Each structure stands twice: as structure tokens, then as C-alpha cells.
Amino acid sequence: MKCYIFTPGYKQKTDISCADVTALIQICLNYRPLRTMFNLNVVDLEEVLRCRNDIYHSSTLKVSNGDLNYFMSTMKTFLKLHVFQDFKDEVERNLEILGKLENDKFEVSKENELDARKDAMGGIQESIAEMLEHQKQAGQNIEVLISNSVHNIEK
């Protein structure tokens, strides 16, 4: 499945269970049978990915109340898609969590905090992997430019 994920940092993952929502959505968008299952709801997949990226790639991870409400609404819409009908229990559990978050009735337990910290560390590791990949690509581009310049000067 890794061949359908184009974000740097996933080559090192040994199991699909180590992937996050970004990987899942990229697989759904890039693997034709899954994309076909989502049909017109591909737009919802792309919007969930955009919402996730807006939060993770902000410098502070802070979100305005308006944006938070929009993100929550987008996630709820996504969870209610027909493709998830076989996972009713899990969908209901996640909708309940979103409802608690919306109503500020979500208590952060040690387990929640630990999960959040793990997610944050995973995000940081992915960002580092992305930066290293971009740095590697930039270095390769520079080498090609230098090689071409030297070749042109020798002519």
C-alpha cells in the first residue's frame, strides 16, 4: 500500500497500522478501487486532508473557534459516508467523541494525553522526514545544475 502514499516519511513504516490519516486518505485517493468506492465523496476525502494539514502545518497548532467548528463538521460528514456503514460501532464512538469536543465535555485523561503526545511526536517525525527528503532532493538538483554548468563551460 505504501506505493499509493506520496508524502515523505512513510517508506520507513513497516506496517500500515503505523500510518496516520494522511496515509489513509492518500491510499483512498490514489488506489482506483477505493477511489471508486468513495465516488463523489472524494471531495470529502480531500477536505479532511486539507483540514488536517491546516492544523498540523500551522506554526502553533492553534485553531480559531470558527475553523474548529468547520473541521468538526467536516469530520462528522466524513464519518457518516456510506462507505463506513459496516463500521457503525466505531463511527458512533468517534461521533460521540466529536460531540463531546464540540460541547467542551471532553476530559483529557492520562491515556488521551499520552495518545496526543504520541500523535504529536509522530507528526514531528514526519515533518523531519519531509524536510530531509526535500533537502536531499534540493542537493540532487544542485548537483545536476553544477554538472550541467560544468558541461556547458567545457563546450
What would you measure as the largest C-alpha separation in the chain, in angstroms?
72
Domain boundaries, the chain: 109-155
pLDDT of residue 138: 83
- Cα gap 90→23, rounded to integer Å: 19
**Cα separations (Å) of 60 from 20, 21, 63, 111, 130?**
20, 20, 9, 23, 19
Predicted TM-score of the model (pTM): 0.51
**Average pLDDT by consecutive 10-residue portion of the chain (155 residues)?**
64 70 78 80 80 78 78 84 84 86 68 76 75 82 84 76
- Cα gap 51→72, rounded to integer Å: 9
- Cα gap 122→119, rounded to integer Å: 5
